[in-house]
Amino acid sequence: MRLLAVGLSHRTAPVELRELVDFARGGLDVALAALAARGVTREAVVLSTCNRAEIYAVSESDAAAGTIGGFFSEYHQIQDGRVAEYLYRLSGSDAARHLFTVAAGLDSLVVGEPQILGQVKAAFSVASDLRYTGALTNRLFHSAFAVGKRVRADTGLGEGAVSVSYAAIALARKIFGDLKGLRVLILGAGEMAKLTGVHLQAQQVREIAIASRTHASAHGLASRLSGRAVAWTDLDAALTAADIVVTATGAAEPVLTRQRVDAIMRPRRGRPLFIIDIAVPRDVESAVGDLDQVFLYNIDDLQTIVKENLARRTTELARAEAIVDEEVAKFSTWMQSREIIPTVVALRERFEAIRQAELRRLEPKLAGLPPEARARVDEITHLIVEKLLLTPTEQLKTVNDDTMAVTYSDALNRLFGLAEEPAAMGVKRQSGAERRVK
Amino acid sequence: MHLLPLILYAAATAAYVVHFAWRDPRVGRLATATLGAGVLAHTFLIGMQTVQVGHAPLVGTTAAISAFVWLLGLSYLYVELTTDERAMGLFVAILLVVLYLIPALDPSVSPRPPVLRSPLFTVHVVSMLFAYASFALGAVLGITYVLLFKEIKAKQLGFFYARLPSLQTLDVMNARVVTIGWICLTLGITIGGIWAAQVHQVPDPRVQAMSVLDPKILVALVSWAVYSFAVFARRVGWSGRRAAWLSTVGFAIVLLNFVPVGYFLTKSHNF
């Protein structure tokens, strides 16, 4: 039994190729069924996002990695040579490490982004619902979820907004707390104004008002954002009512002067005003930021925050990697015990079976012996078997490398014919593994 | 025994420092648990003193400081558990340790003179202490508000930005504790006045010194004026940063009245 991870990601493959091997497009269930039909995998999970396409599988065949690699091109009907060079093929604890790194957001385009953990969970639940997963993939994915959760909780990796819109929303939250009761005023009706409006709308603000010099375009954007259009002449009243003002007009001169904002601040009675100026050239005089209870951020300020957050995330990498290492070690130990312990048990059972069989075969010759002598024979043969098995058992238990574990298991299976009675052996192996898990 | 709360408060402070710096939730829970243990030990201590002298140990500035520390610890734990916000713990814990040094160095309990054997006296002291504990929380909220405000205003998002709740949350909590404190202060001063009027014939020099001109009473009235302004000026726009400053200044006056005035200047409140 071997754990495999075969796939490609934004780190290895160009976007044109990633688009071609998107498993999610045709449905993960279809892809899983097609993979299962190849007959080499016992368990499988397909993870497919815009940045990666990966198959995690458990197989008994040594050629499985090649078959799964081939599946990428066959399933998507791409010339084989084109995909193969971009694929990584990992096995055992390397495969586990890769999944843990992915789930922690360490392998993402934007390091630490949180969506990937949800995508990994979704990929697993599709495979799990359709019963393509088994003991090994179950354990693997649940460990991966734990890694993602720990990295999120114990490191600052996911902290700090890494896009301008999220930086603005994070700031607004730090000023106002919940954004639900807030009134937003957007000046301008262009593309930037629309984008910011969509982000704020997603925060379920109380009201979005749009003011533009051309009333028609204000109406257009207002209807798209289910907001309210404000006439340019009523701007001061709208400013007084607003908590967050986004300015994105194409005006060459500042729209909000210090004098104007100072005047609208008076009737607000100390209610804070957060002005986000994303226009270039700027719509708001920088002196406006000096007014009490006014927080003014322009596009450059927001971009600086984003840069700082990205830099801070990289310093948290080491802590996140330590968590991944720890969990990989735990998982590997568990996986090896699965490999080795059943082999040890099977080996001992085989030796004992041979001893018993020989004793039965010699029964006519031993029949004449007195009971004490027969007990002696039983004891001596038992001791010989124990002595013969002592060193191999100890050696096997100290194997701490999963490729070695597989090699040993394979060798022992072959040398002693341990897999010859598959039905009986299967039951015993499973019970051995379960004992160990408990 | 009287050092145990000090040790636990100090340990809690250390844990809050570590939690504030590294934001490890396990250390945060440890800090809360240690502070809880400190308050519990302090409760036992006050209980034992009550049994020992036969009345609540509220006589004299030292006993009042001890009771204040206990009330503040308890109120803070209540706020922390109800809001799930641990960032203020560091500031509160430091205040607890510094103030508790005084009763820790002088753990003796003063006997109660007959003139103080009135339920009005107990109500007066308890409501004043509760007001002071609320104002202490208000000051911590005010200081953190100003620190966060400055970071956001200066566009230098750093240490406090990552650790403190939103300005709005801090302001709302500040308004709440200052209002509660103001109600208790008003009650405490009124009851104190009534009690002083009742006992003014007692020939104790301290009772005779009860007048608006006594430093302790005067400064208490000043703090009442400051907090009355803080409560009512909110309605006309003194919220946010101004309210934060007001609650900080107000508590500075309270602290001044509580410790230096209480020990060295007052002629009426030195029982």
pLDDT digits (tens, 9 = 90+) for B211-256: 777 888 889 999 999 999 999 988 887 888 889 999 999 999 998 9
Tokens 């339920």 sit on residue = B119
Q: How many CB atoms lie within 10 A of CB A135?
A: 16
Q: What is the largest CA-CA distance in chain B?
A: 63
Q: How many CB atoms lie within 10 A of CB A107?
A: 18
Is the interface score ipTM higher than 0.85? no
pLDDT at A436 over 70: no
Q: How far is B167 from chain A (nearest CA, A)?
A: 5
Q: What is the mean pLDDT of chain A?
A: 86
End-to-end CA distance of chain B: 24
Neighboring chain B residues of A297 at a CB cutoff of 8 Å: 155
- Of the listed ranges A108-117, A251-260, A307-316, A415-424, the least confidently predicted one is A415-424
Alpha-carbon distances, residue B25 vs A160, B30, B86, B93, B268 (angstroms): 18, 9, 10, 17, 47
Known catalytic membership, residue A261: no
**pLDDT of A25:** 85
Average pLDDT over residues A360-374: 87
Most confident of the ranges A209-213, B199-203, B265-269:
A209-213
**CATH 3.30.460.30 applies to domain A2-159:** yes
As a whole number of angstroms, the distance between CA B2 and CA A389 comes to: 66
SS3 B204: coil
As a whole number of angstroms, the distance between CA B77 and CA A274 comes to: 33
**pLDDT of A384:** 93
**pLDDT of B69:** 93
pLDDT at B143 over 80: yes
**pLDDT of A256:** 93
Both tokens of B158, joined, read 């750093």
Tokens 């003002």 sit on residue = A245
As a whole number of angstroms, the distance between CA A106 and CA A157 comes to: 9
Residue A6: HSE in the Cβ half-sphere, 13 Å Cα cutoff: 23
Neighboring chain A residues of B242 at a CB cutoff of 8 Å: 270
Average pLDDT over residues A386-402: 82
**pLDDT of B119:** 84
Q: Are the beta carbons of B166 and A174 separated by less than 8 Å?
A: yes
Quick check: do A2-159 and A176-301 share a fold? Answer: no
Both tokens of A341, joined, read 């312990």
**Among A182, A293, A313, the residue to mutate for chain B (most B Cβ within 10 A):** A293
Which among A50, A375, A377, A427 is annotated as catalytic? A50
Both tokens of A267, joined, read 């009737």
Read off the pLDDT of residues A14-49 as tens digits, 9 standing for 90 and up. Answer: 888 888 888 988 889 999 999 999 888 999 999 998
pLDDT at B54 over 90: no
Neighboring chain B residues of A153 at a CB cutoff of 8 Å: 25
Average pLDDT over residues B36-62: 87
Class of domain A176-301: alpha beta
As a whole number of angstroms, the distance between CA B154 and CA B43 comes to: 44
End-to-end CA distance of chain A: 20
Average pLDDT over residues A374-387: 91
**pLDDT of A431:** 41
Helix axes B119-153, B61-83, angle to 10 degrees: 50
Report domain extents, chain A: 2-159, 176-301, 327-437
As a whole number of angstroms, the distance between CA A45 and CA A55 comes to: 6
Both tokens of A5, joined, read 């991870």
Residue A419's pLDDT band (cuts 50, 70, 90): low
Most confident of the ranges A186-190, A313-317, B202-206, B207-211:
A186-190
Nearest chain B residue (CA) to A302: B155
The answer to whether the beta carbons of residues A93 and A101 sit under 8 Å apart is: no
pLDDT at A400 over 70: no
Report domain extents, chain B: 1-112, 115-271
Average pLDDT over residues A152-165: 80
Tokens 């010339």 sit on residue = A79
- Of the listed ranges A3-7, A181-185, B56-60, the least confidently predicted one is B56-60
The answer to whether the beta carbons of residues A25 and A94 sit under 8 Å apart is: no
**pLDDT of A210:** 93
As a whole number of angstroms, the distance between CA B146 and CA B163 comes to: 14
Report which of residues A411 and B113 the model is more confident about: A411
**pLDDT of B11:** 94
- Of the listed ranges A227-241, A396-410, B69-83, B135-149, the least confidently predicted one is A396-410
Tokens 């990428």 sit on residue = A72
- Of the listed ranges A143-152, A340-349, B65-74, the least confidently predicted one is A340-349
Read off the pLDDT of residues A249-285 as tens digits, 9 standing for 90 and up. Answer: 888 889 999 999 999 998 888 889 999 998 888 899 9
* Residues with Cβ within 8 Å of residue B68, at least 6 apart in sequence: B99, B129, B132, B133, B258
As a whole number of angstroms, the distance between CA A222 and CA A346 comes to: 73
Neighboring chain B residues of A270 at a CB cutoff of 8 Å: 237-240, 242
Tokens 């997963």 sit on residue = A133
Q: Choose among B161, B236, B241: nearest Cβ to A292.
A: B241
Residue A312's pLDDT band (cuts 50, 70, 90): confident
Nearest chain A residue (CA) to B152: A295
**pLDDT of B33:** 94
Give start and end residues of each alpha helix (H) in B61-107.
61-83, 89-105
